[in-house]
Amino acid sequence: MSKLKYIYNKVAKVIGDSMYPEHIKCLGCGKDISKLNIYDVCDKCKKDLEFNNGRRCARCGKNVFGQSNYCFNCKNTLRHFDKATAPFLYTGLVKTLIRRFKYKNAPYLARTFARWLAQEYIKSDFDVDVVVYVPMHKDKLSKRGYNQAELLAFEFCKIVGLPLAKNFLIKNFDTDTQTHKSRDEREHLENIYSLTHKDYFRGKKILLIDDVITTGSTMDACAEALGASKVYGLAIAHSKSRIRQATTPKVLVGKKFAKKVVL
């Protein structure tokens, strides 16, 4: 059975699982919706889900403009992961739901997000042996009570049937959330992540799961620590690229700036 058909059947089974009530509430507005709605939002709120459509960076999956196949970060950074993708942009209702998932004690959202990830995985060309999630430092895990990336990976693996490697990749010390860091601060993540079993993933093809890709630096640091033959990234959303407005260069005119031309 092809990957596409297998995962499609699994997604359909999860959506139709009898554990779901006949009618569920829209995650956006609370309106009753059909249990067969894979996004768990009503038609009106679905319009506030900004899909990561259009041209994407060939490496990290960020939406790009212009003629380049790579975003600014990937053009100027040596990456340790091979390719990453995310179905949505981190804005609007998607941003609201992810923040609820992470900071408002809403682990139940992992099942919805996992279906979104499964759909994105179906469309990818990723050939994967095992799934790994971005770890959380033990102090932050103790405070929050759960690692959202681990919950995502667990529910995702239940759908697609891939094995999940738990507690092999660890975070050695705590860092602030990437969302509020400058680009330079995000890029300095050396030695933050390590393996409990050295060389365990050598020769393996890994799917690394996180909630949001910002600059790709977290995924990159994890990929370097994994030491696998291939590392692919999958997240719910990617930070949104902004079109930089062109500025008109200053033109200095006057005798002071003129050069005398001698024929």
The model's pLDDT over 93-139, given as tens digits with 9 standing for 90+, comes to 999 999 999 999 999 999 999 999 999 999 999 999 999 999 999 99
- Does the pLDDT value for residue 260 go beyond 50? no
Helix (H, G, I), strand (E, B) or coil at 117: helix
| pLDDT the model gives residue 20 | 45
| pLDDT the model gives residue 247 | 40
User: How far does Cα 97 stand from its chain's mean position?
Assistant: 14
74 vs 107: CA distance, rounded Å: 32
Q: How many C-beta neighbours within 10 Å does residue 17 have?
A: 10
- Does the pLDDT value for residue 177 go beyond 70? no
Return all residues near 217 (Cβ < 8 A) that are at least 6 apart. 73, 178, 186, 187, 189
| pLDDT the model gives residue 186 | 46
- Does the pLDDT value for residue 6 go beyond 90? no
| pLDDT the model gives residue 189 | 58
The model's pLDDT over 183-197, given as tens digits with 9 standing for 90+, comes to 555 455 568 999 999
- Is the sign of the CA dihedral 178, 143, 210, 47 positive or negative? negative
Sketch the domain layout of the chain as residue ranges. 3-13+51-238
Identity of the residue numbered 92: G
CATH for the stretch 3-13+51-238 = 3.40.50
Cβ atoms of 125 and 230 closer than 8 Å: no
